[in-house]
A and B are shown apart, each in its own frame.
Chain A
Amino acid sequence: MKTKIYIIALVSMIIAALNLSAASKNQITCTGSTTVLPIAQAAAESYMDNHPEINISVRGGGSGVGVAALQNGTTDICNSSRPMKSKEISVAKAKGINPVAYAIANDAISIIVHTNNPIKDITIQQIKDIYTGKIKNWKALGGPNLPIVAVSRDVSSGTFEVFNEKVLAGAKVEGSAQLLASNNAVLSAVSNTPGAIGYVGLGYVNETVKLLSVNRVIPAVASVKNNSYPLARKLYMYTNGNAKGEVEKLIGFIQSEKGQKIVEEQGFINIK
Protein backbone atom coordinates (compact mmCIF):
# COMPACT_ATOMS: atom_id res chain seq x y z
CA MET A 1 0.00 0.00 0.00
CA LYS A 2 2.77 2.36 1.04
CA THR A 3 4.79 1.66 -2.09
CA LYS A 4 1.75 2.55 -4.17
CA ILE A 5 1.56 5.97 -2.55
CA TYR A 6 5.24 6.54 -3.22
CA ILE A 7 4.87 5.59 -6.86
CA ILE A 8 1.89 7.91 -7.28
CA ALA A 9 3.82 10.76 -5.63
CA LEU A 10 6.83 10.12 -7.83
CA VAL A 11 4.82 10.02 -11.03
CA SER A 12 2.97 13.21 -10.17
CA MET A 13 6.27 14.92 -9.39
CA ILE A 14 7.66 13.90 -12.78
CA ILE A 15 4.52 15.20 -14.50
CA ALA A 16 4.85 18.48 -12.60
CA ALA A 17 8.49 18.79 -13.65
CA LEU A 18 7.55 18.13 -17.29
CA ASN A 19 4.87 20.80 -17.07
CA LEU A 20 7.40 23.30 -15.74
CA SER A 21 9.82 22.67 -18.56
CA ALA A 22 7.04 23.03 -21.09
CA ALA A 23 6.10 26.37 -19.59
CA SER A 24 9.68 27.61 -19.76
CA LYS A 25 9.21 28.69 -23.37
CA ASN A 26 7.72 31.86 -21.96
CA GLN A 27 10.54 32.22 -19.49
CA ILE A 28 12.97 35.14 -19.69
CA THR A 29 16.08 35.19 -17.53
CA CYS A 30 17.87 38.40 -16.70
CA THR A 31 21.23 38.31 -14.88
CA GLY A 32 23.95 40.77 -13.92
CA SER A 33 24.71 44.16 -12.41
CA THR A 34 23.40 44.92 -8.93
CA THR A 35 23.09 48.58 -9.95
CA VAL A 36 20.65 47.66 -12.73
CA LEU A 37 18.89 45.10 -10.51
CA PRO A 38 16.25 47.41 -8.98
CA ILE A 39 15.26 48.68 -12.44
CA ALA A 40 15.10 45.19 -13.93
CA GLN A 41 13.07 43.90 -11.00
CA ALA A 42 10.52 46.70 -11.00
CA ALA A 43 10.20 46.58 -14.80
CA ALA A 44 9.78 42.79 -14.78
CA GLU A 45 7.03 42.98 -12.17
CA SER A 46 5.18 45.64 -14.10
CA TYR A 47 5.58 43.72 -17.38
CA MET A 48 4.36 40.47 -15.86
CA ASP A 49 1.27 42.22 -14.52
CA ASN A 50 0.23 42.94 -18.10
CA HIS A 51 1.55 39.68 -19.59
CA PRO A 52 0.67 36.97 -17.06
CA GLU A 53 1.80 34.21 -19.45
CA ILE A 54 5.40 35.47 -19.35
CA ASN A 55 7.66 34.54 -16.47
CA ILE A 56 10.71 36.76 -15.96
CA SER A 57 13.35 35.77 -13.45
CA VAL A 58 15.77 38.51 -12.45
CA ARG A 59 19.07 37.79 -10.75
CA GLY A 60 21.95 39.98 -9.59
CA GLY A 61 25.52 38.85 -9.18
CA GLY A 62 27.34 41.74 -10.80
CA SER A 63 28.10 42.90 -14.33
CA GLY A 64 30.87 40.31 -14.73
CA VAL A 65 28.51 37.49 -13.79
CA GLY A 66 25.93 38.74 -16.27
CA VAL A 67 28.51 38.91 -19.04
CA ALA A 68 29.73 35.39 -18.26
CA ALA A 69 26.15 34.11 -18.31
CA LEU A 70 25.60 35.76 -21.70
CA GLN A 71 28.82 34.24 -23.04
CA ASN A 72 27.73 30.79 -21.86
CA GLY A 73 24.23 31.22 -23.24
CA THR A 74 22.61 30.73 -19.82
CA THR A 75 20.76 34.04 -19.74
CA ASP A 76 18.54 35.89 -22.18
CA ILE A 77 19.46 39.34 -20.92
CA CYS A 78 22.72 40.46 -19.32
CA ASN A 79 22.45 43.56 -17.12
CA SER A 80 25.61 45.63 -17.07
CA SER A 81 26.51 48.91 -15.41
CA ARG A 82 29.37 49.40 -17.89
CA PRO A 83 29.99 48.72 -21.56
CA MET A 84 31.36 45.23 -22.21
CA LYS A 85 35.14 45.14 -22.49
CA SER A 86 36.68 44.28 -25.84
CA LYS A 87 38.13 41.09 -24.37
CA GLU A 88 34.71 40.02 -23.12
CA ILE A 89 33.23 40.67 -26.56
CA SER A 90 35.95 38.65 -28.28
CA VAL A 91 35.42 35.74 -25.86
CA ALA A 92 31.68 35.90 -26.58
CA LYS A 93 32.27 35.96 -30.36
CA ALA A 94 34.54 32.93 -30.06
CA LYS A 95 31.62 31.09 -28.50
CA GLY A 96 29.26 32.16 -31.27
CA ILE A 97 27.51 34.80 -29.17
CA ASN A 98 27.05 38.26 -30.61
CA PRO A 99 26.42 40.77 -27.77
CA VAL A 100 24.11 43.65 -28.63
CA ALA A 101 23.78 46.54 -26.18
CA TYR A 102 20.54 48.30 -25.27
CA ALA A 103 20.92 51.41 -23.10
CA ILE A 104 18.05 51.41 -20.64
CA ALA A 105 18.89 54.20 -18.18
CA ASN A 106 21.27 56.99 -17.33
CA ASP A 107 23.09 57.02 -14.04
CA ALA A 108 25.59 59.32 -12.35
CA ILE A 109 28.32 58.14 -10.04
CA SER A 110 27.66 60.44 -7.11
CA ILE A 111 30.38 61.63 -4.75
CA ILE A 112 29.11 61.59 -1.15
CA VAL A 113 30.53 62.75 2.19
CA HIS A 114 29.33 62.81 5.80
CA THR A 115 26.46 65.23 6.47
CA ASN A 116 28.63 67.29 8.88
CA ASN A 117 31.26 67.96 6.22
CA PRO A 118 31.16 71.65 5.13
CA ILE A 119 32.72 70.91 1.71
CA LYS A 120 30.26 71.48 -1.14
CA ASP A 121 32.23 71.03 -4.32
CA ILE A 122 35.16 68.91 -5.41
CA THR A 123 37.12 68.63 -8.63
CA ILE A 124 38.00 65.45 -10.49
CA GLN A 125 41.69 66.14 -9.79
CA GLN A 126 40.99 66.45 -6.05
CA ILE A 127 39.05 63.17 -6.03
CA LYS A 128 41.94 61.50 -7.82
CA ASP A 129 44.43 62.94 -5.30
CA ILE A 130 42.30 61.67 -2.40
CA TYR A 131 42.00 58.14 -3.74
CA THR A 132 45.65 57.87 -4.71
CA GLY A 133 46.71 59.09 -1.27
CA LYS A 134 48.12 62.53 -2.19
CA ILE A 135 45.56 64.43 -0.12
CA LYS A 136 45.02 62.93 3.31
CA ASN A 137 43.25 65.70 5.24
CA TRP A 138 40.12 67.76 4.57
CA LYS A 139 42.17 70.84 5.49
CA ALA A 140 43.84 70.67 2.07
CA LEU A 141 40.41 71.22 0.47
CA GLY A 142 39.49 74.09 2.76
CA GLY A 143 37.58 71.89 5.18
CA PRO A 144 38.12 71.04 8.86
CA ASN A 145 41.32 69.46 10.20
CA LEU A 146 40.07 65.89 9.80
CA PRO A 147 41.79 62.88 8.21
CA ILE A 148 40.09 61.71 5.03
CA VAL A 149 38.72 58.16 4.97
CA ALA A 150 38.47 57.21 1.30
CA VAL A 151 35.74 54.64 0.67
CA SER A 152 35.72 52.85 -2.67
CA ARG A 153 33.88 49.99 -4.36
CA ASP A 154 35.72 46.76 -4.99
CA VAL A 155 38.14 46.91 -7.86
CA SER A 156 36.08 44.46 -9.91
CA SER A 157 32.70 46.14 -9.64
CA GLY A 158 31.23 47.80 -12.72
CA THR A 159 30.85 51.03 -10.76
CA PHE A 160 34.54 51.01 -9.85
CA GLU A 161 35.48 50.45 -13.46
CA VAL A 162 33.66 53.57 -14.57
CA PHE A 163 35.17 55.49 -11.63
CA ASN A 164 38.59 54.10 -12.49
CA GLU A 165 38.31 55.22 -16.09
CA LYS A 166 36.83 58.67 -15.50
CA VAL A 167 38.61 59.73 -12.30
CA LEU A 168 41.69 57.64 -11.61
CA ALA A 169 42.67 57.25 -15.26
CA GLY A 170 44.32 53.97 -14.38
CA ALA A 171 46.16 55.20 -11.25
CA LYS A 172 46.16 52.81 -8.32
CA VAL A 173 43.89 53.32 -5.33
CA GLU A 174 45.89 53.83 -2.15
CA GLY A 175 46.13 50.72 0.06
CA SER A 176 44.55 52.40 3.05
CA ALA A 177 41.35 53.19 1.13
CA GLN A 178 38.43 51.08 2.28
CA LEU A 179 37.06 48.80 -0.42
CA LEU A 180 33.46 47.83 0.24
CA ALA A 181 31.34 45.29 -1.54
CA SER A 182 28.13 47.13 -2.40
CA ASN A 183 26.51 50.50 -2.93
CA ASN A 184 24.71 50.07 0.38
CA ALA A 185 27.90 49.27 2.31
CA VAL A 186 29.52 52.44 0.95
CA LEU A 187 26.45 54.48 1.87
CA SER A 188 26.39 53.09 5.41
CA ALA A 189 30.13 53.61 5.94
CA VAL A 190 30.04 57.20 4.71
CA SER A 191 26.97 58.08 6.78
CA ASN A 192 28.68 56.73 9.93
CA THR A 193 32.15 58.20 9.37
CA PRO A 194 32.72 61.97 9.77
CA GLY A 195 35.86 62.03 7.60
CA ALA A 196 34.62 59.74 4.86
CA ILE A 197 34.21 60.27 1.13
CA GLY A 198 32.65 57.67 -1.14
CA TYR A 199 30.79 57.16 -4.40
CA VAL A 200 27.54 55.35 -5.25
CA GLY A 201 24.98 55.18 -8.05
CA LEU A 202 22.59 58.16 -8.02
CA GLY A 203 19.66 55.90 -7.14
CA TYR A 204 21.29 55.12 -3.79
CA VAL A 205 21.88 58.69 -2.57
CA ASN A 206 19.61 59.65 0.34
CA GLU A 207 19.48 62.12 3.22
CA THR A 208 21.93 60.16 5.42
CA VAL A 209 24.83 61.53 3.35
CA LYS A 210 25.77 64.78 1.62
CA LEU A 211 25.99 64.88 -2.16
CA LEU A 212 28.90 66.91 -3.59
CA SER A 213 28.94 68.71 -6.91
CA VAL A 214 31.86 67.73 -9.13
CA ASN A 215 33.61 70.54 -11.03
CA ARG A 216 30.65 72.67 -9.84
CA VAL A 217 28.07 70.45 -11.53
CA ILE A 218 25.44 68.66 -9.43
CA PRO A 219 24.39 65.22 -10.70
CA ALA A 220 20.81 65.76 -11.85
CA VAL A 221 18.58 64.96 -14.80
CA ALA A 222 19.76 67.82 -17.00
CA SER A 223 23.47 67.64 -16.21
CA VAL A 224 23.59 63.89 -16.74
CA LYS A 225 21.67 64.01 -20.03
CA ASN A 226 23.80 66.73 -21.60
CA ASN A 227 26.92 65.03 -20.26
CA SER A 228 28.08 68.11 -18.33
CA TYR A 229 28.29 66.00 -15.17
CA PRO A 230 31.70 64.36 -15.54
CA LEU A 231 30.78 61.03 -13.94
CA ALA A 232 27.65 60.21 -15.92
CA ARG A 233 27.28 56.71 -17.29
CA LYS A 234 24.74 54.54 -19.05
CA LEU A 235 23.24 51.30 -17.79
CA TYR A 236 22.83 48.51 -20.32
CA MET A 237 21.01 45.32 -21.13
CA TYR A 238 22.89 42.99 -23.47
CA THR A 239 21.33 40.25 -25.57
CA ASN A 240 22.74 37.63 -27.94
CA GLY A 241 22.14 39.18 -31.36
CA ASN A 242 19.27 41.59 -31.80
CA ALA A 243 16.58 40.93 -29.23
CA LYS A 244 13.74 38.80 -30.58
CA GLY A 245 10.22 37.92 -29.52
CA GLU A 246 9.34 38.42 -25.88
CA VAL A 247 12.83 39.68 -24.99
CA GLU A 248 12.51 42.42 -27.59
CA LYS A 249 9.09 43.35 -26.20
CA LEU A 250 10.45 43.48 -22.65
CA ILE A 251 13.39 45.72 -23.55
CA GLY A 252 11.06 47.83 -25.68
CA PHE A 253 8.82 48.18 -22.63
CA ILE A 254 11.71 49.35 -20.44
CA GLN A 255 12.75 51.88 -23.09
CA SER A 256 9.15 53.06 -23.50
CA GLU A 257 7.71 56.04 -21.65
CA LYS A 258 6.11 53.79 -19.04
CA GLY A 259 9.31 51.84 -18.51
CA GLN A 260 11.37 55.01 -18.18
CA LYS A 261 8.97 56.18 -15.49
CA ILE A 262 9.92 53.04 -13.56
CA VAL A 263 13.59 53.94 -14.09
CA GLU A 264 12.93 57.34 -12.52
CA GLU A 265 10.97 55.81 -9.65
CA GLN A 266 14.06 53.73 -8.85
CA GLY A 267 16.13 56.92 -8.57
CA PHE A 268 17.86 56.76 -11.95
CA ILE A 269 17.58 59.05 -14.96
CA ASN A 270 15.65 58.29 -18.17
CA ILE A 271 17.31 57.93 -21.54
CA LYS A 272 14.82 60.09 -23.43
Chain B
Amino acid sequence: MNKYKEKAFQTVVYIASLLTVFALLALIYGLFNEGLPFFDTVSIKDFIFGNGWYPTNSEPEFGAWTLIIGSFSVTIGALLIGIPLGLGSAIFISEIAGNRLREIVKPIIELLAGIPSVVYGLFGMSFIAPLTSKWLHLDTGLNVFSTSLILGLMIIPIIASMSEDALSNVSKSMREASLALGSTKMECVFRVIVPAARRGIIGSILLGLGRAIGETMVVLMVSGGSAQIPKGIFDSVRPITSTIAAEMGETVIGSLHYQSLYALAILLFIFTFLSNLITEIFILKKSKNE
Protein backbone atom coordinates (compact mmCIF):
# COMPACT_ATOMS: atom_id res chain seq x y z
CA MET B 1 0.00 0.00 0.00
CA ASN B 2 2.80 2.37 0.99
CA LYS B 3 4.75 1.52 -2.10
CA TYR B 4 1.68 2.28 -4.17
CA LYS B 5 1.29 5.66 -2.47
CA GLU B 6 4.93 6.47 -3.06
CA LYS B 7 4.58 5.69 -6.74
CA ALA B 8 1.42 7.79 -7.05
CA PHE B 9 3.11 10.71 -5.35
CA GLN B 10 6.03 10.53 -7.75
CA THR B 11 3.73 10.39 -10.74
CA VAL B 12 1.72 13.38 -9.56
CA VAL B 13 4.73 15.66 -9.05
CA TYR B 14 6.28 14.41 -12.27
CA ILE B 15 3.14 15.33 -14.19
CA ALA B 16 2.99 18.69 -12.41
CA SER B 17 6.49 19.64 -13.49
CA LEU B 18 5.90 18.36 -17.01
CA LEU B 19 2.74 20.46 -17.28
CA THR B 20 4.63 23.55 -16.12
CA VAL B 21 7.33 23.07 -18.72
CA PHE B 22 4.66 22.37 -21.31
CA ALA B 23 2.84 25.59 -20.40
CA LEU B 24 6.01 27.60 -20.92
CA LEU B 25 6.72 25.94 -24.25
CA ALA B 26 3.14 26.55 -25.37
CA LEU B 27 3.47 30.19 -24.40
CA ILE B 28 6.69 30.61 -26.37
CA TYR B 29 5.18 28.79 -29.34
CA GLY B 30 2.05 30.97 -29.29
CA LEU B 31 4.09 34.13 -29.02
CA PHE B 32 6.44 33.36 -31.89
CA ASN B 33 3.77 31.74 -34.02
CA GLU B 34 1.65 34.90 -33.98
CA GLY B 35 4.51 37.39 -33.94
CA LEU B 36 7.08 36.12 -36.43
CA PRO B 37 4.93 36.56 -39.58
CA PHE B 38 5.06 40.29 -38.78
CA PHE B 39 8.70 40.37 -39.82
CA ASP B 40 7.80 39.22 -43.34
CA THR B 41 6.27 42.66 -43.85
CA VAL B 42 8.37 44.91 -41.62
CA SER B 43 12.10 44.49 -41.27
CA ILE B 44 13.57 43.94 -37.81
CA LYS B 45 15.65 47.08 -38.22
CA ASP B 46 12.62 49.26 -39.04
CA PHE B 47 10.74 47.67 -36.17
CA ILE B 48 13.39 48.21 -33.50
CA PHE B 49 14.87 51.52 -34.62
CA GLY B 50 11.85 53.15 -36.27
CA ASN B 51 10.60 56.25 -34.50
CA GLY B 52 6.90 56.40 -35.36
CA TRP B 53 4.27 54.12 -33.84
CA TYR B 54 1.15 54.61 -35.98
CA PRO B 55 -0.27 51.11 -36.31
CA THR B 56 -3.78 52.09 -37.42
CA ASN B 57 -2.94 54.94 -39.79
CA SER B 58 -3.77 54.46 -43.45
CA GLU B 59 -0.01 54.27 -43.98
CA PRO B 60 0.90 52.37 -40.83
CA GLU B 61 4.31 52.74 -39.19
CA PHE B 62 5.65 50.19 -36.75
CA GLY B 63 8.67 51.81 -35.13
CA ALA B 64 9.08 50.52 -31.60
CA TRP B 65 12.13 52.60 -30.65
CA THR B 66 10.11 55.18 -28.70
CA LEU B 67 8.32 52.34 -26.88
CA ILE B 68 11.59 50.60 -26.00
CA ILE B 69 13.04 53.85 -24.68
CA GLY B 70 9.78 54.40 -22.79
CA SER B 71 10.08 51.01 -21.10
CA PHE B 72 13.72 51.49 -20.19
CA SER B 73 13.31 55.05 -18.91
CA VAL B 74 10.66 54.08 -16.36
CA THR B 75 12.56 50.91 -15.44
CA ILE B 76 15.79 52.78 -14.77
CA GLY B 77 13.86 55.37 -12.77
CA ALA B 78 12.23 52.57 -10.77
CA LEU B 79 15.61 51.02 -10.02
CA LEU B 80 17.02 54.39 -8.91
CA ILE B 81 14.24 54.54 -6.33
CA GLY B 82 13.85 50.84 -5.56
CA ILE B 83 17.52 49.89 -5.07
CA PRO B 84 18.45 52.36 -2.29
CA LEU B 85 15.14 51.88 -0.47
CA GLY B 86 15.05 48.10 -0.92
CA LEU B 87 18.69 47.58 -0.06
CA GLY B 88 18.45 49.99 2.86
CA SER B 89 15.46 48.09 4.24
CA ALA B 90 17.30 44.81 3.77
CA ILE B 91 20.35 46.05 5.67
CA PHE B 92 18.14 47.46 8.40
CA ILE B 93 16.16 44.27 8.82
CA SER B 94 19.13 41.95 8.67
CA GLU B 95 21.82 43.90 10.53
CA ILE B 96 20.40 46.68 12.63
CA ALA B 97 16.84 45.98 13.76
CA GLY B 98 16.30 43.95 16.88
CA ASN B 99 14.27 40.77 16.78
CA ARG B 100 10.94 42.35 17.66
CA LEU B 101 11.30 45.29 15.26
CA ARG B 102 12.27 42.86 12.50
CA GLU B 103 9.08 40.86 13.07
CA ILE B 104 7.08 44.07 12.56
CA VAL B 105 8.97 45.69 9.64
CA LYS B 106 9.45 42.61 7.49
CA PRO B 107 5.78 41.72 6.98
CA ILE B 108 4.97 45.36 6.34
CA ILE B 109 7.48 45.54 3.51
CA GLU B 110 6.29 42.23 2.16
CA LEU B 111 2.72 43.50 2.21
CA LEU B 112 3.78 45.93 -0.54
CA ALA B 113 4.23 42.91 -2.80
CA GLY B 114 0.70 41.68 -2.17
CA ILE B 115 -1.11 44.81 -3.29
CA PRO B 116 -2.54 44.32 -6.80
CA SER B 117 -0.81 46.44 -9.42
CA VAL B 118 -4.10 47.98 -10.55
CA VAL B 119 -4.39 49.50 -7.08
CA TYR B 120 -0.94 51.02 -7.47
CA GLY B 121 -2.04 52.32 -10.86
CA LEU B 122 -5.16 53.96 -9.47
CA PHE B 123 -3.14 55.46 -6.62
CA GLY B 124 -0.65 56.85 -9.13
CA MET B 125 -3.23 58.18 -11.55
CA SER B 126 -5.53 59.88 -9.08
CA PHE B 127 -3.12 60.82 -6.29
CA ILE B 128 0.58 60.91 -7.22
CA ALA B 129 0.19 62.40 -10.70
CA PRO B 130 -1.96 65.41 -9.71
CA LEU B 131 0.32 65.99 -6.72
CA THR B 132 3.55 66.02 -8.74
CA SER B 133 2.07 68.29 -11.38
CA LYS B 134 0.83 70.70 -8.71
CA TRP B 135 3.99 70.77 -6.58
CA LEU B 136 6.48 70.88 -9.42
CA HIS B 137 4.31 73.13 -11.65
CA LEU B 138 4.29 70.66 -14.54
CA ASP B 139 2.00 70.55 -17.57
CA THR B 140 1.07 67.00 -16.71
CA GLY B 141 1.65 64.62 -13.82
CA LEU B 142 1.46 61.51 -16.00
CA ASN B 143 5.18 61.22 -16.69
CA VAL B 144 8.38 59.22 -16.21
CA PHE B 145 8.85 60.62 -12.72
CA SER B 146 5.46 59.57 -11.31
CA THR B 147 5.68 56.17 -13.01
CA SER B 148 9.19 55.52 -11.68
CA LEU B 149 8.06 56.50 -8.20
CA ILE B 150 5.29 53.88 -8.19
CA LEU B 151 7.28 51.17 -9.96
CA GLY B 152 10.14 51.81 -7.51
CA LEU B 153 7.73 51.29 -4.64
CA MET B 154 6.53 48.04 -6.21
CA ILE B 155 9.98 46.48 -6.57
CA ILE B 156 11.08 47.33 -3.02
CA PRO B 157 9.74 44.07 -1.52
CA ILE B 158 11.53 41.97 -4.16
CA ILE B 159 14.86 43.67 -3.62
CA ALA B 160 14.43 43.90 0.15
CA SER B 161 13.45 40.30 0.84
CA MET B 162 15.97 38.69 -1.52
CA SER B 163 18.82 40.95 -0.42
CA GLU B 164 17.90 40.30 3.19
CA ASP B 165 18.21 36.56 2.58
CA ALA B 166 21.61 37.11 1.01
CA LEU B 167 22.79 39.34 3.87
CA SER B 168 21.58 36.93 6.55
CA ASN B 169 23.40 34.11 4.81
CA VAL B 170 26.77 35.81 5.31
CA SER B 171 28.49 33.66 7.89
CA LYS B 172 28.69 34.84 11.47
CA SER B 173 32.45 34.35 11.55
CA MET B 174 32.96 37.11 8.97
CA ARG B 175 30.98 39.57 11.06
CA GLU B 176 32.86 38.60 14.20
CA ALA B 177 36.22 38.79 12.48
CA SER B 178 35.49 42.26 11.14
CA LEU B 179 34.26 43.54 14.49
CA ALA B 180 37.19 41.94 16.28
CA LEU B 181 39.55 43.83 13.98
CA GLY B 182 37.99 47.00 15.32
CA SER B 183 35.60 48.00 12.54
CA THR B 184 32.52 50.02 13.40
CA LYS B 185 29.07 48.63 12.65
CA MET B 186 28.89 50.73 9.46
CA GLU B 187 32.27 49.59 8.21
CA CYS B 188 31.35 46.02 8.96
CA VAL B 189 28.11 46.28 6.96
CA PHE B 190 29.45 48.13 3.93
CA ARG B 191 32.99 46.72 3.71
CA VAL B 192 32.34 43.13 4.69
CA ILE B 193 28.74 41.96 4.69
CA VAL B 194 27.39 43.73 1.59
CA PRO B 195 30.39 42.72 -0.58
CA ALA B 196 30.09 39.16 0.67
CA ALA B 197 26.40 39.08 -0.26
CA ARG B 198 26.77 40.97 -3.53
CA ARG B 199 25.75 38.14 -5.83
CA GLY B 200 22.44 37.71 -4.06
CA ILE B 201 21.95 41.47 -4.06
CA ILE B 202 22.65 41.77 -7.79
CA GLY B 203 20.30 38.87 -8.39
CA SER B 204 17.56 40.66 -6.45
CA ILE B 205 18.12 43.84 -8.46
CA LEU B 206 17.85 41.98 -11.75
CA LEU B 207 14.62 40.34 -10.61
CA GLY B 208 13.34 43.79 -9.65
CA LEU B 209 14.30 44.99 -13.12
CA GLY B 210 12.33 42.15 -14.68
CA ARG B 211 9.31 43.05 -12.60
CA ALA B 212 9.55 46.75 -13.46
CA ILE B 213 9.96 46.25 -17.19
CA GLY B 214 7.07 43.79 -17.36
CA GLU B 215 4.66 45.80 -15.22
CA THR B 216 1.59 46.76 -17.22
CA MET B 217 -1.29 48.22 -15.24
CA VAL B 218 0.77 50.95 -13.57
CA VAL B 219 2.49 52.16 -16.72
CA LEU B 220 -0.80 52.00 -18.61
CA MET B 221 -2.42 54.30 -16.09
CA VAL B 222 0.43 56.59 -15.04
CA SER B 223 2.99 56.91 -17.84
CA GLY B 224 0.76 59.14 -20.01
CA GLY B 225 1.11 57.08 -23.17
CA SER B 226 2.98 59.50 -25.44
CA ALA B 227 5.03 57.65 -28.04
CA GLN B 228 8.04 59.95 -27.85
CA ILE B 229 11.65 59.94 -26.71
CA PRO B 230 11.47 61.74 -23.33
CA LYS B 231 13.63 64.86 -23.11
CA GLY B 232 13.52 64.83 -19.34
CA ILE B 233 12.02 62.93 -16.45
CA PHE B 234 8.86 65.04 -16.58
CA ASP B 235 7.82 63.93 -20.07
CA SER B 236 5.18 61.32 -20.80
CA VAL B 237 6.29 58.03 -22.33
CA ARG B 238 4.63 54.93 -23.72
CA PRO B 239 6.23 51.69 -22.53
CA ILE B 240 5.93 48.45 -24.52
CA THR B 241 3.62 46.74 -22.04
CA SER B 242 1.07 49.53 -21.95
CA THR B 243 1.03 49.63 -25.76
CA ILE B 244 0.18 45.94 -25.91
CA ALA B 245 -2.45 46.19 -23.19
CA ALA B 246 -4.11 49.27 -24.64
CA GLU B 247 -4.20 48.19 -28.26
CA MET B 248 -4.75 44.44 -28.07
CA GLY B 249 -8.36 44.86 -26.98
CA GLU B 250 -9.56 46.55 -30.11
CA THR B 251 -7.36 45.31 -32.88
CA VAL B 252 -8.57 43.05 -35.65
CA ILE B 253 -7.32 39.52 -34.99
CA GLY B 254 -4.80 38.37 -37.57
CA SER B 255 -4.11 41.84 -38.95
CA LEU B 256 -0.64 43.33 -39.25
CA HIS B 257 -1.36 45.49 -36.20
CA TYR B 258 -2.26 42.36 -34.21
CA GLN B 259 0.98 40.69 -35.28
CA SER B 260 2.97 43.81 -34.40
CA LEU B 261 1.70 43.59 -30.80
CA TYR B 262 2.92 40.00 -30.66
CA ALA B 263 6.26 41.20 -32.05
CA LEU B 264 6.39 43.66 -29.14
CA ALA B 265 5.60 40.78 -26.79
CA ILE B 266 8.50 38.80 -28.26
CA LEU B 267 10.77 41.77 -27.64
CA LEU B 268 9.61 41.95 -24.04
CA PHE B 269 10.02 38.21 -23.65
CA ILE B 270 13.63 38.46 -24.83
CA PHE B 271 14.37 41.29 -22.37
CA THR B 272 12.88 39.39 -19.42
CA PHE B 273 14.53 36.17 -20.52
CA LEU B 274 17.94 37.86 -20.63
CA SER B 275 17.51 39.50 -17.23
CA ASN B 276 16.41 36.18 -15.70
CA LEU B 277 19.29 34.40 -17.39
CA ILE B 278 21.78 36.84 -15.90
CA THR B 279 20.12 36.45 -12.48
CA GLU B 280 20.36 32.68 -12.79
CA ILE B 281 24.05 32.88 -13.71
CA PHE B 282 24.80 35.03 -10.67
CA ILE B 283 22.92 32.75 -8.30
CA LEU B 284 24.40 29.58 -9.78
CA LYS B 285 27.90 31.03 -9.48
CA LYS B 286 27.25 31.86 -5.87
CA SER B 287 26.24 28.34 -4.94
CA LYS B 288 29.28 26.95 -6.72
CA ASN B 289 31.63 29.24 -4.83
CA GLU B 290 30.35 28.29 -1.42
Residues of A within 8 A of B224 (CB): 178, 180, 189
Question: B: which residues have CB within 8 A of A?
Answer: 52, 54-58, 66, 125-126, 129-130, 133, 139-142, 220-221, 224-228, 235-236, 238, 242, 245-247, 249-255, 257
The 17 listed contacts between A and B (C-beta, < 8 Å) are A63-B250, A67-B252, A68-B253, A154-B246, A154-B247, A156-B246, A156-B251, A156-B257, A161-B56, A178-B225, A178-B236, A179-B225, A179-B238, A181-B221, A192-B129, A192-B130, A195-B140
- CB-nearest residue of chain A relative to B58? A170
In the assembled complex, which residues on chain B have CB atoms less than 8 Å from the CB atom of A71? 253
Q: Is A175 a contact of B250 with CB atoms below 8 Å?
A: no
- Are A188 and B125 within 8 A (Cβ)? yes
Chain A residues closer than 8 Å to B66, beta-carbon distance:
175
Q: Which of A165-197 contact B (CB under 8 A)?
A: 170, 172-173, 175-181, 185, 188-189, 192-193, 195-196
Given A172-B57, A179-B227, A65–B238 Cβ distance below 8 Å?
no
Q: Given A156-B249, A179-B226, A195 and B139 touching (CB < 8 A)?
A: yes
CA distance A175 to B257 in the complex (A): 18
Q: Which of B52, B130, B247, B254 contacts A172 (CB 8 A)?
A: B52
Q: Which residues of chain A have C-beta atoms less than 8 A from B142's C-beta?
A: 178, 189
Q: Which residues of A contact B257 (CB under 8 A)?
A: 156
A155 an interface residue at 8 Å Cβ cutoff?
Answer: yes
Contact present for A176 and B125 (CB under 8 Å): no
**Given that A63-B250, A176-B228, A188-B126 are known contacts, is A181 also in contact with B139, CB under 8 Å in the complex?**
no
Which residues of the other chain, B, contact A110 by a CB distance below 8 angstroms?
none
- Residues in B with CB closer than 8 Å to A63 are 250
A49 to chain B minimum Cβ distance, whole angstroms, is 30
Q: Which residues of B contact A85 (CB under 8 A)?
A: 252
Which residue of A64, A154, A155 is within 8 Å of B252 (Cβ)?
A64
Kindly state the separation between the CA atoms of A95 and B126 in the bound complex, as whole angstroms.
44
- The answer to whether A178 touches B140 (Cβ under 8 A) is yes
In the assembled complex, the Cα of A250 lies from the Cα of B45 at a distance in Å of 51
Contacts of B247 in A (CB 8 A): 154-156
Closest to A82 in B: B250
Question: Which of A62, A71, A178 counts the most B-chain CB atoms under 10 A from its CB?
Answer: A178
Q: Does the CB pair B225–A154 fall under 8 Å?
A: yes
With contacts A175-B66, A192-B126 known, what are 16 further pairs, Cβ within 8 A?
Answer: A62-B249, A64-B253, A65-B249, A85-B252, A87-B255, A91-B252, A154-B247, A154-B250, A156-B55, A161-B56, A170-B57, A170-B58, A175-B52, A176-B235, A179-B225, A179-B226
Is A248 part of the contact surface with B, judged by Cβ < 8 Å? no
Q: How far is the CB of B262 from chain A (nearest CB, A)?
A: 14
Q: Are A192 and B225 closer than 8 Å at their CB atoms?
A: no
A170 contacts across to B, CB distance below 8 A? 57-58
Q: Are A193 and B139 in contact (CB under 8 A)?
A: yes
How far, in angstroms, from A71 to B141 measured CA to CA in the complex?
41
Given contacts A172-B54, A189-B142, A195-B139, is CB(A180)–CB(B225) below 8 Å? yes
Query: What is the chain A residue whose CB lies nearest that of B130?
Result: A192
Contacts of A257 in B (CB 8 A): none
B219 to chain A, nearest CB (A): 11
Residues of B within 8 A of A252 (CB): none
B56 touches A175 (CB 8 A): no
Q: Within the assembled complex, what's the spacing in Å between the Cα atoms of A9 and B140? A: 57
Q: How far is the CA of A196 from the CA of B56 in the complex (A)?
A: 24
CA distance A189 to B249 in the complex (A): 21
Set of chain A residues within 8 Å of B238, measured between Cβ atoms = 179
Given contacts A156-B55, A179-B227, A192-B129, contact A88 B246 (CB under 8 A): no
